[in-house]
Amino acid sequence: MNNNRAEMQVKLIDYASTPLEKLYAAFRTCYSSDSPIEIWDKIKAEKISHERVREFIGERLKTGHASPLEQIVFWFAIAGVSRSLSHQFVRHRIGISFEQQSQRYVKFKQERLAFVMPESWRRAGLEEEFAGLLERTSELYGRALKAVVPGGSSTPVLKSDEIDIAMDFDSVAKAGSMLGSGGVVVLDDTTCMVKFALRTMKFYQHESCGWCIPCREGTDWLKKTLIRFHSGGGVNKDIDNMYYLSENMLGRTFCPLGDAATSLVTSGIRLFREEFEYHVKHGHCMVGGMHAHPEIESAREATLKAGV
């Protein structure tokens, strides 16, 4: 049997004490001239027998008056039911509220997601097809998360195994990044980190006002180096030079743009250095088959002509 296939489980955690008495008091409030306090005092004084309580509740429920059922509270833990079934809870008059676990957030690190076999698929004899569909979905979901930029392009990137954290300033800072503007960018396994750094650097180089030399010259040099590097004309020394220059731009500009421009370069090299080294060895992206833009094509042609 597939270990990822869930079976329904229900466990009673707790319940409100004396539920029938509370339900009787709720009903009697609607059908008695006594105040709710007087009704409850009679119940506690046992002036009304348990048999009468059950009899009266049964009579009221037969009339279709079900709203007092909301006065009875039970706490259940339920596992192994589909999301579509759990969401049917809110359709009933008895006032169910619930907290729903999301596999997308709590189980994204597992190779395969657990699933509930729909009865309609079971009756149709399509259990194997459904299991295969979920296995394929799990595979694609795992590929969908390579890295995350948690606070916009000015913040360091985090790898997929670093993001099981709360989305607050302190937690993200402890993980090695910043919440920044909160502009979350999710990268899948088709994203080339060299191309990603280049695209970001082109933006910051264009936005630089040119007032500060570290920012003006640094962003321009990093952009040109990344274009040459991504085109296949890079050498191993470029990797350390880009990292060294980025670190030396930090804190040396009047505005934060110089600092922001370097975050994805330094974190990209630190966490995905193998992709940069792959570019040096093979002259193209390690993943994704990303198409080069005109500037890269021109740099590639120049590199080939120079015999580098």
What's the pLDDT tens digit per position in 139-187? Answer: 776 677 889 999 889 999 999 888 878 788 888 999 999 988 888 998 8
DSSP calls for 168-206: SHHHHHHHTS--TT---EEE-TT--HHHHHHHHHHHHHH
Q: 177-200: per-residue pLDDT in tens?
A: 998 888 899 888 889 999 999 999
Note if the pTM is more than 0.85. no
Q: Which fold has domain 190-306?
A: de novo design (two linked rop proteins) (1.20.1440)
Mean pLDDT across the chain: 81
Phi, psi dihedral angles at 255 (to 5 degrees) = -115, 170
What is the pLDDT confidence band of residue 65, given thresholds at 50, 70 and 90? Answer: confident
Residues of the chain with CATH 1.20.1440.230: 190-306
Q: How far apart are CA 168 and CA 152, in angstroms?
A: 14
